[in-house]
Amino acid sequence: MKSHWVGDVLAGAHDGETVELKGWVHRARGNNNIHFLSIRDSTGNIQCVGKKNILGEEIFDAFRSALIESSMIVSGEVVATDREHGHEIQVSSVEIVGPVDSTRPFPIGESDMLDVDEDGEMTYGGSKHTLDHRHLYLRTTRATTMLKLRSSAFGAIHDYFRSRDFIEYQAPNFVAGAVEGGSTLFEVPYFEKTAYLTQSWQLYAEAAMPALERLYTIAPSFRAEKSRTRRHLTEFWHAEMEMAWASNDEIMGHGEGVVRHIARTMLDEHEQELTSLDRDLEAIASYADNPYPRMRYDEAIERLQALKVDVEWGQDLDYSKEKILTQDFDVPHFLTHYPKVAKPFYHRVDPDDGNYVLCHDLLAPEGYGEIIGGGERTWSEQEILERIDEEGTPREPYQFYIDVRSYGGVPHAGFGLGVDRVVSWLAGASHIREVIPFPRTSRRVTP
Ligand code: ATP
Ligand code: MG
């Protein structure tokens, strides 16, 4: 269907040849004798020059009539120039495939990019107008760039786990119980019953742990997040892993490994895109190359208290505290050993000190905060029953989870990584919604 790609032309693969480009009009300018269209395809934008004296009046008028985002086929000779991109097309023929009606011009322009968003924050692509036209906004250079970086992250995650013999495994999205906590559960009518949308694959992954031993997924998770932040979606993509016989330390190694691999893959595949977003490539290389320090929760509390932050031992650390902690690090760092009182029953109590659980969060620098949460699971039947009862959680919805421990329970551990959060951080996005095509938040489910 397509013989030439803009990216190849820009890279010098067709100098002096006649090419046929299929794409969309990105920008247009000109006068009565010469007209410039910047034609975009998924690989780049190139300047196409149409001259009346070469094209003749009829073709020149057709070329000039193409409005922004019209789709077209343009043929012409590739000329290497010393201008911006180094290459342009001297147009010899033109066909408009999908015209744009002049009474309804393309509604998204550069001025719709950085703006006050629906939450009153300055972000890219967040105004009501832009979000209402999200289906068209996806074609902008910035959105396209984000989607390419996102694709790299998904590929890197699959690559990381598969090359280490993990099995990809799918958990159900309709579930009966909470993982993260009742306050963010989405309730769904389910025939005569009530079901919930899953917040994590974890409980169902643990059921397959004795079968597969090393498993992972990338799947959507759903959380009814009411607070409006730049880091929460109600539907996000969750890369999760579970591993039999593994310790908290061992899976932190995998958390670090997969994040470093994502950073490396983005650099290898999209250096140009990262540069176009003004990202510091050396910083991203350091995320790929340097080890991630580990700090116990207690030390984090001491640091915060030394900074006169109002925080007490036993509290979970919210974003305001994470942000302060990340200021001392220029690569991601782990927080480990949270107090038992701060975490749900499935976190394994530290056998060396019953006040703590064997868990971790990974916090990204540049103020992005938590990107991974995980740890060892309570794995003996007796202990899980004690912890469920201690929390006052009903046993009934978790019966299958308890059963898994009644038949050959073993130590195991796992984590969940927010893919959108990782992409948002590595891309330097102004808001998490920038990196997902159709963001779902408490404010909107449309378009
Ligand atoms: P937070 O405190 O930031 O809400 P959490 O403690 O609820 O995070 P976990 O339950 O540990 O997060 O989930 C694992 C990972 O999933 C998080 O580290 C984060 O990267 C991602 N994540 C969690 N909630 C969201 C959300 N609403 N939107 C996007 N990503 C999320
Ligand atoms: Mg949360």
CA-CA distances (angstroms) from residue 207 to 69, 189, 270, 319, 400?
50, 25, 38, 32, 8
Q: Which of 91, 90, 89, 85 is nearest to 11 (CA)?
A: 85
What does the DSSP assignment read for 254-265? HHHHHHHHHHHH
Cis ω for the linkage preceding 99 (within 30 of 0): no
Instruction: For 111-161, write each residue's pLDDT tens digit.
Output: 778 989 988 999 999 999 999 999 999 999 999 999 999 999 999 999 999
CB-ligand 1 contact for 214 (6 Å cutoff): no
Q: What pLDDT is attached to residue 341?
A: 94
CB-ligand 1 contact for 321 (6 Å cutoff): no
Q: Which of 40, 18, 19, 20 is nearest to 28 (CA)?
A: 40
Rounded mean pLDDT of the chain?
A: 95
Q: Which of 231, 237, 247 is nearest to 216 (CA)?
A: 237
| The pLDDT of residue 326 is above 80 | yes
Q: What pLDDT is attached to residue 76?
A: 98
CB-ligand 1 contact for 232 (6 Å cutoff): yes
Which bound ligand lies closest to the C-alpha atom of 183?
Answer: 2
- For CA atoms 324, 329, 332, 335, give the dihedral sign: negative
Query: Looking at ligand 1, which atom is closest to the CA of residue 374?
Result: 11
For residue 224, what are its two tokens?
């009814």
CB-ligand 1 contact for 233 (6 Å cutoff): yes
Contacts with 65 (C-beta within 8 Å, 6 or more apart), sequence order: 96, 99
Q: What pLDDT is attached to residue 165?
A: 98
Q: Which residue type, as a one-letter code, is found at position 254?
A: H
CA of 233 to the centre of ligand 1 (A): 9
| Residue 279 CB neighbour total at 10 angstroms | 19
Which bound ligand lies closest to the C-alpha atom of 371?
Answer: 1
Of all protein residues, the one whose alpha carbon is nearest to atom 24 of ligand 1 is 232
Enumerate the H helices of 277-407 as residue ranges.
281-289, 297-306, 319-326, 381-391, 399-406
SS3 350: coil
Q: Are 277 and 141 in contact (CB under 8 A)?
A: no
| The pLDDT of residue 205 is above 90 | yes
Which bound ligand lies closest to the C-alpha atom of 237?
Answer: 1
CB-ligand 1 contact for 362 (6 Å cutoff): no
| Residue 7 CB neighbour total at 10 angstroms | 15
For residue 397, what are its two tokens?
């919805």
pTM: 0.96
The angle, 0 to 180 degrees and rounded to 10, between the axes of the packed helices 248-276 and 419-427 is 40
C-alpha to C-alpha distance for 137 and 100, rounded to whole angstroms = 16
- The average pLDDT across 193-209 equals 96
CA-CA distances (angstroms) from residue 145 to 5, 46, 152?
17, 16, 11
pLDDT band at 84 (very low <50, low <70, confident <90, very high): low
Torsion on CA atoms 384, 370, 426, 329, rounded to nearest 10 = -120
- Bridging pattern class, strands 359-364 and 333-336: antiparallel
Q: 406 φ, ψ to 5°?
A: -75, -20
| The pLDDT of residue 85 is above 80 | no
Instruction: Pick the more confident residue, 370 or 86.
Output: 370
C-alpha to C-alpha distance for 163 and 447, rounded to whole angstroms = 37
Of all protein residues, the one whose alpha carbon is nearest to atom 29 of ligand 1 is 232
SS3 344: coil
Ligand 1 pocket test, pick from 362, 421, 424, 440 with the greatest ligand atom count within 8 Å of Cβ, gives 421
CB-ligand 1 contact for 225 (6 Å cutoff): yes
CB-ligand 1 contact for 373 (6 Å cutoff): yes
CA-CA distances (angstroms) from residue 249 to 5, 84, 237, 257, 334?
47, 50, 24, 12, 11
- The average pLDDT across 24-53 equals 97
Q: What is the DSSP letter of 317?
A: P
Q: Which residue type, as a one-letter code, is found at position 19?
A: V
CB-ligand 1 contact for 230 (6 Å cutoff): no
Helix (H) or strand (E) holding 210: helix 202-212
| The pLDDT of residue 36 is above 90 | yes
| The pLDDT of residue 11 is above 90 | yes
Which bound ligand lies closest to the C-alpha atom of 323?
Answer: 1
For residue 418, what are its two tokens?
């927010």
Report the chain's terminal Cα–Cα distance, integer Å.
30
- The average pLDDT across 157-181 equals 91
Q: What pLDDT is attached to residue 228?
A: 85
Q: What pLDDT is attached to residue 310?
A: 94
Q: Are 323 and 369 in contact (CB under 8 A)?
A: yes
Query: Looking at ligand 1, which atom is closest to the CA of residue 318?
Result: 2
CA of 418 to the centre of ligand 1 (A): 6
Which bound ligand lies closest to the C-alpha atom of 372?
Answer: 1
Q: What is the DSSP letter of 186?
A: P
What does the DSSP assignment read for 63-121? HHHPPTT-EEEEEEEEEE-SSTTSEEEEEEEEEEEE---TTS-----GGGSEEE-TTS-
Q: Are 238 and 404 in contact (CB under 8 A)?
A: no
For residue 73, what are its two tokens?
């086929």
